[in-house]
Amino acid sequence: MPIKAGSRTRILKSDIYQAILGFFLENEGSVDTPRGIATWIDASLIKVRVALEALAEMNCLKAHRTPSTIGYSCLLSKKELASLTSKISK
């Protein structure tokens, strides 16, 4: 389901969104589960799950779906990631 404009702004402004993009900026090649990413950025698993799905919906991340879990990897280049992270943090 496409993300509504209001929700998109809310997600973009949230700390968790920045933390996830920051994680992928630091570890470009990472492919990890919501639990893994929540551990690395020290955040709530439930919030991370929601944010990851939203980021996948925005085509920032790719969701590799399997019956037992979902692995997320970054679709953006380091340059695009850095630019996005800096825009959001302003």
Partner 1 sequence: MKTTLTNDKEIFDFFKSHESLRKLRVSYDFLLGHPIWWVSFKLNGQPKLFEKSLEGSYEIWHDPRVRRLRTTQAIADVLKRRSKEKSPYLFTIEKKLLNFCVPLVMDDRLIGYFGLIGLKNGISQETLDMFSEHLHLILDNCAKKEEISRLSATIRPRAIALSTVHTVHRIINSTLNLDELISRLAHLTAQVLRSNRCSIYLFEKPKKHLVCKALVGYPKTKAKHAKILVSSSGSEGRVAKTAKSVLRKSTICIPLIDEDVIGVLTVTDKKDKKGFSYFDLEILTTLAEEAVIAIKNAQLYEEQRKVTLGTIQSLAVILGTRIPNMASPEAFLRIALRMAEELHLSEEDTQALHYATLLKDTAKIGIPEEILKKPTKLTGEEYQLIREHPIKGAKIVQSFESLKTVVPIILYSREKFDGTGYPEGLKGDKIPIGARALSVINAFEAIITGRPYRNRVTLKEALDEITRNSGTQFDPKIVEVFIHIVQKEGYYKYIQHAH
| CB nearer to partner 1: pick between 9 and 69 | 69
What's the burial of 60, exposed, middle or buried (CB within 10 Å: 0-12/13-18/19+)? buried
- The residues in 6-65 that bind partner 1, with binding defined as CB under 8 A, are 27-33, 36, 40, 62, 64
Cβ atoms of 81 and 61 closer than 8 Å:
no
Cβ atoms of 11 and 20 closer than 8 Å:
no
When binding is defined by CB under 8 A, the residue of 6, 59, 68, 87 that contacts partner 1 is 68
Q: Which residues bind partner 1 (CB under 8 A)?
A: 27-33, 36, 40, 62, 64, 66-69, 71, 73, 77-78
